[in-house]
Amino acid sequence: MSMKFLLLELILLFRTIELLWNILEEGTDEQICDQLNSRVTMSLLKEAFFGQITQSHCQYHRQLRNDILVVCSLILNINPNSPVIETGFAKQLLLFASYPELRSNSPLVKNFKLTTYDEDFEFKKLIFNTVVILNRNPMMNELVTNSRILLALLSYIEPLPRKKDRETNAFEWKISQFEDLQLHALAVLSILLPYSLNEYFEYGVGTRLLVFYEWTINNEEYNSEGNSFFAKGGRNNKRSQLKYILRLFRSLISTKDERIYIDLCDQGIISSITGHLRVMTQKTSIHMDYVDLDIICDGLFILSCLGELDVHRKEIFGSEGIEMLIQILSIESPYVCGGLGYHRLLVAAIDCVWCCVVGSVINEDEFIQRQGVFALLDLIEINPKSLQNIILGCVLDLTENTKCLHFIMTWQGHKQEYFTHVLCELWRDEERETYVARTEKGVISDHTKPLMGLLQQSVPLTPLKRFEPSRAVLDLIDNMRSKIYGFFCKLGFSELPGLHEEDYITICIIENFLDFKMGEIWQEIMSELDMEGVKLIAPDGEATDTILRATEERALAVVATQNYILEQYHKLDLQFEKEFYNELVRSHTFQEKRLEQWKSFVARTSKYPLLMVAKDSQNQAIRQSRPEEKDYSGYHTVHNLEIPNISITAFTGPFLQIESTPIELLKKK
């Protein structure tokens, strides 16, 4: 009877867990929180879980144990603040998560044994996942520290295959299982370690990770199984391990803790990553998949964070890193995941240029000499507006180095257009997108709002807080016009190459951009004061009126300049048209003359009397052209200036056209 009762109890528990699982997956979060967010629920799940832990000697109990753990993780995922800490369940879960990596005298794990069966392997992965979910509760930090779960996870971070310890009979996973758990541990550490920085230095995490990283990039062969979720794309290589160790570095770097920066840089992480990425970009320039993309982007992010605020680290980045960046900037989009990951790679590379090149004179000079500026400018033509804004900002910071200006002025795009013309095109595109009032020729239509478009005007004007930006200030952030103005301040507003008529019209507006923007801000200030019922005193009122009037006068002056430029171009067009017409007249006159000459030639060769008349007229013209004849009787020799038997009856020019047999025909004979 007792065995039958236990069997019925197990069946009931199994059905209950299955029912809870379905409710958690199909029900709404609010209803689940109301019904399951209690100490009673967590206590019952805890008792059921440990009841199966102590009886994990058969497959049925192990499966039921795993199902209970899945239900617990689903509840915690919906509500991380469930009373799992108050019931002591969290502490005991952390104990099992660190077993068998860490020894413990707790009676809970005294008789608990793990095997290489699939159920125990799944249990280990499930409990790793549960630890990540538990970490969402801020009260878990102390428990995580005391449980030393990080040390247990770090025990998986070692080169493969593992060296077996023959002195101890410790439990060993299969190589494929250990590889899966290793990748899972790396993913878990990337979430837990940023919350436990003291343990980072206590356990010497930086050295452990760098040793493992060096193994992932060396030339030793390792035939990875690559048959798990985390090992996607890593079969017969170490790419998966490299991907997740870089992700772990990225999580640590994201804490912006200077102590971690110093620890990693002192151990040579910058030169190690730059060297491997340079080799990797050379090998994957033909095709780059998502694993390569993740590795390169994470590596670039790490380098950007490390070199952002330290000139010495920028110099460590050096020529090897600059060569790697130029290789990445030169990769064409179809070769990066079929074009789907190109923009992600480009943003990471530009950010790395901004952080590791800009700010170091040595790196800037080498980047410019290696034509890195040309690579950035080429990207402006082929990329969308969102990336153009980022690239322009990066190049604008590079122009602080005066050597960059010469390269910018000499650059020409695919259509042989200069950079100044491209900037004017971008400015006009911005105005079209924001619906700024302009004529067909680009002249200012509304001199009271020379920069404000319909989109900016549609934003209602409301009283703002002290540090809240107004719509005129937000307009500077949203578009590229402020960056374009910055470029022209560096390059100048006159004597620029490659400009067209419409470009000169646009430059008139760009040159006065700052004055117009200041006028917009003063208009907003006056409008806000009127809305709040504030009246200015007489001197302040006169000052504001003067400022607003000066802005309008400046706009009218710009309109006059634009109209003058259009008028001059119109006169120039008329002059070109007149010259072209005169050329047409000369061409027609020449054709008529040639026709008359041809008719005369045909007539002379057709009728002999006409030929004689032509000969007589030629002789007469020759005689009239000669000076008066002198008496040559005193000279011994008299030269006859006429060629005897000449058959030409027309005066020839300086050129002679001879019609003869082509050389090709003579060679054939």
> DSSP string of 250-294?
HHHHTT--HHHHHHHHHTTHHHHHHHHHHHHHHHSSS-B-HHHHH
Between CA 54 and CA 65 the distance in angstroms is: 10
Residue 316: per-residue pLDDT: 94
pLDDT band at 576 (very low <50, low <70, confident <90, very high): very high
pLDDT at position 491 over 50: yes
Better pLDDT: 651 or 254 = 254
What digits encode the pLDDT tens for the residues 131-172?
A: 999 999 888 888 998 889 999 999 999 988 777 655 445 678
> What six digits make up the tokens of 531?
């809305």
Strand partners, 453: 436
Residue 1: per-residue pLDDT: 45
Better pLDDT: 608 or 360 = 360
* CB distance 114 to 100 below 8 Å: yes
Between CA 499 and CA 507 the distance in angstroms is: 10
Q: Where are the domains of the chain?
A: 15-147, 433-560
Better pLDDT: 322 or 620 = 322
Nearest to 68 by CA among 55, 51, 80, 85: 51
* CB distance 470 to 524 below 8 Å: yes
Residue 639: per-residue pLDDT: 59
Residue 114: per-residue pLDDT: 85
Between CA 159 and CA 175 the distance in angstroms is: 12
pLDDT at position 384 over 80: yes
Q: pTM for the whole thing?
A: 0.83
* CB distance 40 to 89 below 8 Å: no
* CB distance 377 to 408 below 8 Å: yes
* CB distance 520 to 472 below 8 Å: yes
The 10 Å Cβ neighbour count of residue 438 is 19
pLDDT at position 637 over 70: no
pLDDT band at 21 (very low <50, low <70, confident <90, very high): confident
Strand partners, 418: 412
DSSP H helical segments within 98-174, as ranges? 118-134, 140-147, 149-154
What digits encode the pLDDT tens for the residues 391-448?
A: 999 999 999 999 999 999 999 988 889 999 999 999 999 999 888 989 888 899 888 8
What digits encode the pLDDT tens for the residues 197-208?
A: 999 999 999 999
Nearest to 295 by CA among 222, 350, 245: 245
- pLDDT, average across residues 294-298: 94
Burial of 633 (C-beta count, 10 Å sphere; 0-12/13-18/19+): exposed
What digits encode the pLDDT tens for the residues 95-118?
A: 989 988 888 888 888 778 888 888
pLDDT band at 584 (very low <50, low <70, confident <90, very high): very high
Mean pLDDT of the chain, nearest integer:
86
User: Which residues have CB under 8 Å from 451's CB, separation 6+?
Assistant: 436, 475, 481, 509, 513, 516, 517, 520
Better pLDDT: 324 or 231 = 324
Between CA 536 and CA 542 the distance in angstroms is: 9
What digits encode the pLDDT tens for the residues 515-532?
A: 999 998 888 888 888 888
Better pLDDT: 125 or 534 = 125
* CB distance 604 to 649 below 8 Å: yes
The least confident of 212-226, 235-249, 608-622 is 608-622
